[in-house]
Amino acid sequence: MLKKYKPFLRAGAMDTLSYRFNILIWAVITVFQVACLVFLWLAVYRSSAGGMDAEIHGFTFREMIAYVVLTTVFNYVTFNNDTLWNINNDIRKGTIGNYLIKPISYRGKFAATSFGSLLTMTLLFGIPFYAAALLTLGGLGFLPDLSFPAFFVHLGLFLVAGLFASLLNDVIAYIFGVFCFYTTASWGLNSLKETLISFLSGTLLPLAFFPAGLRKVVSWMPFAGMSQNPVLILMMKYDLAESLRCLALTGAWIVALELFAKLLFSHAIRKVTVQGG
Amino acid sequence: MIEVNELTKVFRKPVRGEGLSGMVKTLFSRKYEETRAVDGINFTVPDGEIVGYIGANGAGKSTTIKMMCGILTPTSGSVTIDGLEPYRKRRQVAQNIGVVFGQKTQLWWDIPLIESFKVLKEIYQISDTDYAERMDFLGEVLDVTRFLSQPVRTLSLGERMRADLAASMIHNPRILFLDEPTIGLDVLVKEKIRRAIHALNRTYGTTVVLTTHDMTDIEDLCSRIILLEKGKILYDGALKSLKNRFGNLKTLTLTVPAEIRAETAPPLSPELTLSEEEGRLVLRFDADRLALEEVIQYAFRELRAMDMKLAEISVGDVVKTILSQQEAAHAEKI
């Protein structure tokens, strides 16, 4: 059954490959963003009561820098996704009909494409970037002492978390994409999605910095599994039990959101009015 | 087998006010305009039949096709394809049908044609032997082999349409829906496409539902036609009986001296209508009521015909007549 989706996986992998120069340019921009964040945190820690040795919400300055660098690399490798735009295009141009007349699931097509893209990104950029980040951070003593056999367990869990994050990101993009059936405000939907994710996933700020009440709510939401949790698993800030708990929560969210996406799509599809004819 | 039962599709679209004030009003109160694109139609297509589905633009042909292949969900009524409703069991039905929308391609624009076929092979899970056999058959009847290695965007319209047709047949569908497969094509390509549809129908017993505005397509291919107007079926039956619906109509086209005009020519009988078309005189009459011999003599004696061509009425003429009668009846009601 899954073999049907192989061409889409391949297409995702190859498309990503053909955008490699865009991706490289984006990498350069990202380096500047990271530099800004480093200076920002430097200022925060310097002016804090404990000075540079302070621990703010469980993060030392060095851990914070490691966190910033690793979440940036993580987002960069994991979230390479055009699902929302592609759905919007299919609806506006009427090309959605081409997929509806084929014996494949529309959702499955996007999941396969995104997975293909994730594979290319991980092999082409992920491995060198993670290696460079980890070696640099480790060499500067910015990583907490990684005790080695245990680190490999965490690395394994991190890879699973990365896959989960990518799936979660894709199903969320898909849900927002399917909303394009009801509204033409695709640009607004995309901004809403991006903002929600970057705020609630801990990319802008670790969730530990949120007020206690909000933190509690957000910790049960799916977003932390998209950025903060995978990185904290890799940094071994989470012990094994906490890591597994995070993965279980994210897994449950993926299942729930996939179900929701299925229901939403079967409702939306009744609203399709393919252009022309 | 296709069964269509009281099928209805109502499109509901918001009515936008004009100008800025209209736009602001639309924000708060929405009025909807309803169009009954397909209005309670019934028909059955048995296996192996080629049906022509015809009607004016906007009659609801494409909407019906889209409901039959699972893209649109009916507002009420039902369609079943071999017992399954395509909009409920979309993926199952999709495995057994092929669809071509002449207006747009389903092929991947930027990749060589052969790659599109390979993708379809995987999507439909076609075995290697079946695939090879189909490619042979399609290569022959549609002549696509020559441009298999070209990206689809570089193909001419005729090549692209043949490629699209081949793509829709690659998984050996039991039913083929063709929505204007000959639109914008030259006579030779049309001919090739018709031959391919015939060959497919004969070799594999494929059921074909075809919409077209080209009456030659209909006369060449279809044993049965369904005529649709404003979402309702006006005629459903054999092509022959549609032609005979208006009696044994014939047209006699004459080349006559310039001074003979339709208005001034001495009339023969009220059964005969005269008109001028492209500098020629056209006589239309029902051969069951007015003897052909009489008309021909009249043409030579009274109209001084120098040349003549006798033809049976074409399907196009019949359809034109039905549609204009319909319009006239509609106008009377108002």
Minimal C-alpha gap between A97 and chain B (Å): 6
Residue A276 falls within a domain, yes or no? no
Residue A277 falls within a domain, yes or no? no
Length of chain A: 277
ipTM: 0.80
Q: Determine whether the interchain pair A103/B124 forms a contact, defined as Cβ–Cβ distance below 8 Å.
A: yes
Q: Determine whether the interchain pair B122/A97 forms a contact, defined as Cβ–Cβ distance below 8 Å.
A: no
Minimal C-alpha gap between A259 and chain B (Å): 17
Q: Which two tokens stand for residue B40?
A: 């309670």
Residue A1 falls within a domain, yes or no? no
Q: Which of B73, B96, B75, B102 is nearest to B2 (CA)?
A: B96
| Residue A89 forms contact with B (CB below 8 Å) | no
Minimal C-alpha gap between A162 and chain B (Å): 28
Residue A92 falls within a domain, yes or no? yes
| Residue A95 forms contact with B (CB below 8 Å) | yes
Domains of chain B, CATH where assigned: 2-242 (3.40.50.300), 247-312 (3.30.70)
- Partner residue opposite B72 with nearest CB, options A6, A105, A272: A272
Q: Determine whether the interchain pair B103/A98 forms a contact, defined as Cβ–Cβ distance below 8 Å.
A: no
The DSSP annotation for chain A comes to -GGGGHHHHHHHHHHHHHTHHHHHHHHHHHHHHHHHHHHHHHHHHHTSTTGGG-EETTEEHHHHHHHHHHHHHHHHHH----HHHHHHHHHHHSTHHHHHTSSS-HHHHHHHHHHHHHHHHIIIIIHHHHHHHHHHHHHTT-S----HHHHHHHHHHHHHHHHHHHHHHHHHHHHHHHGGGT-S-HHHHHHHHHHHHHHHTTSSS-GGGS-HHHHHHHHTSSGGGGTHHHHHHHTT-S-HHHHHHHHHHHHHHHHHHHHHHHHHHHHHGGG---S--
Amino acid A276: pLDDT:
38
| Residue A183 forms contact with B (CB below 8 Å) | no
Minimal C-alpha gap between A103 and chain B (Å): 4
Q: Which of A270, A59, A277, A117 is nearest to A182 (CA)?
A: A270
Minimal C-alpha gap between A98 and chain B (Å): 6
Minimal C-alpha gap between A6 and chain B (Å): 7
Residue A2 falls within a domain, yes or no? no
B72 chain-A contacts, CB cut-off 8 A: 272-274
What digits encode the pLDDT tens for the residues B226-284? 999 889 998 899 887 877 776 778 888 888 888 888 888 888 888 788 888 888 888 88
Amino acid A275: pLDDT:
41
Q: Which helix (H) or strand (E) holds B233?
A: strand B232-238
Within 10 A of B75 (CB to CB), how many other CB atoms are there? Answer: 18
Residue type, B203: T
Residue A275 falls within a domain, yes or no? no
Q: Determine whether the interchain pair B70/A6 forms a contact, defined as Cβ–Cβ distance below 8 Å.
A: no
Q: Which residues pair with B32 in a beta bridge?
A: B14
Q: Which residues of chain A register pLDDT less than 50?
A: 274-277
Q: Determine whether the interchain pair B123/A104 forms a contact, defined as Cβ–Cβ distance below 8 Å.
A: yes
SS3 of B275, please? strand
Q: Determine whether the interchain pair B101/A7 forms a contact, defined as Cβ–Cβ distance below 8 Å.
A: no
CB B231 within 8 A of CB B41: yes
Mutate to test the interface with B, among A2, A101, A184, A274 (most CBs of B within 10 A): A101
Per run of 10 residues, the mean pLDDT along chain B (length 334 residues) is 93 76 73 87 95 88 92 92 92 94 87 92 94 93 92 92 94 94 90 92 94 87 90 88 75 86 81 83 84 88 87 76 74 68
| Residue A104 forms contact with B (CB below 8 Å) | yes
Name the pairing type of β-strands B76-81 and B97-101.
unpaired
Amino acid A277: pLDDT:
34
Q: Determine whether the interchain pair B103/A277 forms a contact, defined as Cβ–Cβ distance below 8 Å.
A: yes
Q: pTM surpassing 0.90?
A: no
Residue A16 falls within a domain, yes or no? yes
Amino acid B176: pLDDT:
95
Structural domains counted in chain A? 1
Domain holding A160, by residue range, is 7-270
Amino acid A243: pLDDT:
94
Residue A170 falls within a domain, yes or no? yes
Q: Look-up: residue for tokens 């950029």?
A: A125
Q: Which two tokens stand for residue B306?
A: 């120098």
Q: Which residues are CB-contacts of B53 (< 8 A; sequence separation ≥ 6)?
A: B61, B64, B65, B209, B210, B211, B225, B226, B228
Q: Determine whether the interchain pair A4/B122 forms a contact, defined as Cβ–Cβ distance below 8 Å.
A: yes
Mutate to test the interface with B, among A102, A113, A272 (most CBs of B within 10 A): A102
